[in-house]
Amino acid sequence: MVGTHQGLFAGIFGRGGADTGDEAWLQAMLDTEAALARALERAGLAPPGAGAAVTAVAQADGFDAAEIGRQAGLTGNPVPALVRALTAMVPDDTASAVHRGATSQDIIDTAAMLLARRALSAVAADLSAAASGAADLTAAHRETVMAGRTLLQQAVPVTFGLVAAGWLTGLDEAREAVARVRAGGLAVQFGGAAGTLASLGDAGVRVAGLLAYELGLALPVLPWHTDRRRVLDIAAVCAGAAGVLGKVARDITLLAQSEVAEVREGGGPGPGGPGGARGGSSAMPHKRNPVGAVALLGCTRQVPGLLATLAAAAEQEHQRAAGAWHAEWQPLGDLLRLTGSAASWGAELLAGLEVDPARMRQNLDAARGLPMAEHVALLLAPALGPVAAHDLVAQASARVAGSGLHLRDALLDTPETRRLLDEAGVTPERVESALDPAGYLGSAGEFVAAALTAHAAAEFRLSH
């Protein structure tokens, strides 16, 4: 779906439900402060009603995010300004419940976990939709023969169902990784000034447990101020999902090239143009660009740099980092947003992808039998030996490339080659059969079936 994020590039990079903008960050910090007040009240460290009072005013639209951001320059992070503003909004007799026992990093790290949980939910939903689209393509085209391509050159035949099955398996594994981190990898952060919760006396561990309960986050063994593995786990599953989605989009851009034209994106009839069907060019009225795939790649190409920044920031000093922690905030939000946008594009792209089986067969036939050279060599190997069979077919293939002949003709109409075939007992009918792409698909059908079975199992696991 198209996201609600504002900005000139939001339609490309801000799609889906992975909202990580300023208001989302602010609300996650306020949710953490409100949950802390409730936890303190339950622990007997705040007056009755304090939790409800703080919760009632902890709404982002009641705060001036821009002013809090300006004041953050004075303290190195936005939490002190937020705490002052929140304290001013609650009754005096409950003000002591605001931020008690916490340090700024507790609030921002816990907010990051809440932000990630919400964003990963949106990512998982769109990955699920993308997987459903890939499953439909897999099932519909399990017998659609096309050219396999290695190093961007035609190789042996495959089926489009097998190609889509590869997309499907990657998407299923990516969404299970996202679900795993969302379900068990997000932990509350609550350690106070240096990870001891000294200001809460002997109630610190209890308050931490209550805070985790209030927010529905895991309770870690101890505060993780300078142990950034949880942030890296989030980043890693986002990068993995982005890699899978980028693979799908890259394949589609290549298959949609004018000279290939084996698939094209949905989005309305005709070449389109400004204000018309999607994919139009501002300068070339005839074009139907693969906009969804291109936009998806625009998202995923930014992900490796963000992952690298977060990995570099994971080395942090003593009990509180000097700068490395600060370096995480924007890259983490951007990573979640871009992964969410890529997943949204992927869901739409795979739901509407148009496949042209006739064009696939036409492109395969245009190679004049060369993709079947391996199969012919295997046919000849028992009689001629593998090396001689390989060399014979290689020579015939060279004649095809240089003359425009079909491999069949290069094998059967060349006297010397025909003599070797006759001596090996290989009839023209067997050569003709070996040149049929549909007869050289190996285990493609079994792999497609396995992918669909695994997808059904993943659907069951993730829905129960």
Q: Please give the structure tokens belonging to residue 129.
A: 């939709």
Indicate the DSSP class of residue 252: H
Number of neighbouring beta carbons within 10 Å of residue 52: 13
Cβ neighbors of 71 (< 8 A, separation 6 or more) are: 78, 80, 81
SS3 content of the chain, % helix, strand, coil (to 5): 65, 5, 30
CA distance 133 to 76: 46
Measured CA to CA, the distance from residue 462 to residue 337 in angstroms comes to 23
Are 377 and 385 within 8 A, CB to CB? Answer: no
Query: Which residues are catalytically annotated?
Result: 281, 320
Query: Does an H or E element contain 340, and which?
Result: helix 329-352
229 neighbors 294 (Cβ within 8 angstroms):
no
Handedness of CA 19, 25, 30, 35 (dihedral sign): positive
Is 286:242 a contact under the CB 8 Å cutoff? no
> Exposed, middle or buried: residue 9 (CB in 10 Å: 0-12, 13-18, 19+)?
exposed
Helix axes 229-255, 303-312, angle to 10 degrees: 160
Please measure the distance between the N-terminal and C-terminal CA atoms of the chain and give it in whole angstroms.
25
Find the radius of gyration of the CA atoms of the chain. 30
What three-state secondary structure class fits 156? strand
d(CA 90, CA 92): 6
